[in-house]
Amino acid sequence: MLGQRAFFPQPAEIEEECEELARATRALKADRQRRAEYEKDFWEWVDFRKEITGLSEQEILDSVREPGYTNRKARRR
């Protein structure tokens, strides 16, 4: 890591650090995109359940037991 050196790093070390940061940035962007897709799919599922069960959005959300999707509040429209 560049901040832990007592001397100026070699160009190859700087390049390696830059590549590592670029990989981390790409991974973060991909993760955010995946999460956005999961959120979209979740709310589509909620809308579908509302249609077929006649329950309110909050009733459906209260029945969810999947980690990461519990304790949600109904959307404001």
* CA–CA distance, 39 with 41 (Å, rounded to integer): 5
Q: What is the pLDDT of residues 16-56, one digit of tens each?
A: 999 999 999 999 999 999 999 999 999 999 999 999 999 99
Q: Is 63 helix (H, G, I), strand (E, B) or coil?
A: helix
This prediction's pTM: 0.68
* CA–CA distance, 30 with 60 (Å, rounded to integer): 29
Two structure tokens written together for 41: 């799919």
Two structure tokens written together for 44: 């589509």
* CA–CA distance, 50 with 56 (Å, rounded to integer): 6
